[in-house]
Chains A and B, each alone.
Chain A
Amino acid sequence: MSISEHTTATPTLAFGQRGFLSRFGPSNRTIFPWVLMAPTLIILFALGIYPFLYSLYIASHNVILSKPYIPQFFVGLYQYQAVVQDPEFWHAMRKTLFFTVQAVFIEFWLGLGLALLFQRQLRGIAYMRIFILIPMILPPLVAALIWRYMFYPGAGLMTYYVGGITRALGLGEIPFLSDPNIAFQTLVFVDVWEWTPFMFLMLSAGLASIPRQPYEAAEIDGAGSWRVFWTITMPLLRPAILIAVIIRTMDAFRTYELIVIMTRGGPGNATTTLNVYLTKTGLEFFDASKAAALSLIMMMIIIVMSFVFIRVFRSKTELAE
Chain B
Amino acid sequence: MKKLSYTMESPNAPPVQRNWWVYVVIVLVCVVNFLPYLWVVMTGFMDGATSASATPTWFFTPSLEAFNYLISEKGILKNFFNSVVVSLASTFFSVTIGMFCAYALARYDFPGRDDVSFWVLTNRMMPPVAVLIPIFVTFQTAGLLDTLLGLIILYTAMQLPFVVWMLTGYFRDIPRRYEESAMVDGDTWFAAFRKVTLPVMAPSITATAIFVMILSWNEFAFATFLTSNQAKTMPPAIMAYSIGADIRWNVLGAAVVLITAPLILFVLLLQRQFISGLSQGVVRK
A residues contacting B by CB (< 8 A) are 2-4, 6-7, 9, 13-17, 25-26, 29-30, 32-34, 36-37, 39-41, 43-44, 46-48, 50-52, 54-55, 58, 65, 114, 117-122, 125, 128-135, 137-142, 145-150, 152, 154-155, 157, 159-161, 193, 197, 201-202, 204-208, 210, 212, 215, 219, 222, 224-225, 228, 240, 243-244, 247, 250, 254, 256-257, 261, 275, 278-279, 282-283, 288, 291-292, 295-296, 298-299, 302-303, 306
Partner of A47, one of B6, B35, B136, B153: B153
B120:A44 contact, CB within 8 angstroms: yes
Least CB distance, A172 to chain B, in whole angstroms: 16
A26:B125 contact, CB within 8 angstroms: no
Contact sample, A vs B, 10 pairs, CB 8 Å cutoff: A4-B109, A32-B108, A33-B113, A34-B104, A55-B134, A138-B260, A157-B56, A201-B278, A212-B7, A298-B127
Expressed in whole angstroms, the Cα–Cα distance for A65 and B235 within the complex equals 25
B271:A202 contact, CB within 8 angstroms: no
Known interface pairs A2-B172, A138-B260, A148-B242; A36-B101 also in contact (CB < 8 Å): yes
Provide the main secondary structure of the chain B interface.
helix
Partner of B283, one of A33, A46, A157, A243: A243
Question: Looking across the interface, which residue of chain B has its beta carbon closest to that of A39?
Answer: B97
Least CB distance, A236 to chain B, in whole angstroms: 10
A44:B123 contact, CB within 8 angstroms: yes
Question: Looking across the interface, which residue of chain A has its beta carbon closest to that of B39?
Answer: A157
Q: How large is the interface on B (under 10, 10 to 19, 20 to 34, 35 or more residues)?
A: 35 or more
Partner of A52, one of B30, B131, B132, B279: B131
B4:A160 contact, CB within 8 angstroms: no
Known interface pairs A129-B275, A243-B285; A41-B187 also in contact (CB < 8 Å): no
Q: 9 extra interchain contacts, Cβ-Cβ under 8 A, other than A3-B172, A33-B108, A117-B25?
A: A6-B109, A43-B153, A43-B156, A114-B29, A141-B239, A149-B40, A155-B249, A243-B285, A291-B133
A261:B135 contact, CB within 8 angstroms: no
B98: A residues at CB distance < 8 A: 40
| Interface locus among B64-72, B74-82, B178-186, B197-205 | B178-186
A118:B8 contact, CB within 8 angstroms: yes
B189:A247 contact, CB within 8 angstroms: no
Least CB distance, B270 to chain A, in whole angstroms: 12
A193:B32 contact, CB within 8 angstroms: yes
B217: A residues at CB distance < 8 A: 139
Expressed in whole angstroms, the Cα–Cα distance for A82 and B35 within the complex equals 46
Question: Looking across the interface, which residue of chain B has its beta carbon closest to that of A63?
Answer: B137
Of A36, A132, A210, most B-chain CB atoms within 10 Å: A36
B153: A residues at CB distance < 8 A: 43, 47
A257: B residues at CB distance < 8 A: 220-221
Give chain B interface residues in 129-148, CB to chain A under 8 Å: 129-138
Partner of B161, one of A26, A44, A145: A44
B100:A37 contact, CB within 8 angstroms: yes
B131:A141 contact, CB within 8 angstroms: no
A283: B residues at CB distance < 8 A: 132-133, 136, 225
B244: A residues at CB distance < 8 A: none
Least CB distance, A249 to chain B, in whole angstroms: 13
A160: B residues at CB distance < 8 A: 54-56
In the complex, whether B59 has a CB less than 8 A from a CB of chain A is: no
Least CB distance, A278 to chain B, in whole angstroms: 5
Expressed in whole angstroms, the Cα–Cα distance for A119 and B4 within the complex equals 8
A117:B22 contact, CB within 8 angstroms: yes
A25:B189 contact, CB within 8 angstroms: yes
Partner of B235, one of A14, A131, A139, A282: A139
A40:B33 contact, CB within 8 angstroms: no
Question: Looking across the interface, which residue of chain A has its beta carbon closest to that of B271?
Answer: A130
Interface string of B210-254 (1 = CB under 8 A from A): 000000011011000100000000010011001000010100100
Partner of A288, one of B13, B133, B191, B239: B133
In the complex, whether B37 has a CB less than 8 A from a CB of chain A is: yes
Expressed in whole angstroms, the Cα–Cα distance for A155 and B57 within the complex equals 11
B137:A288 contact, CB within 8 angstroms: yes
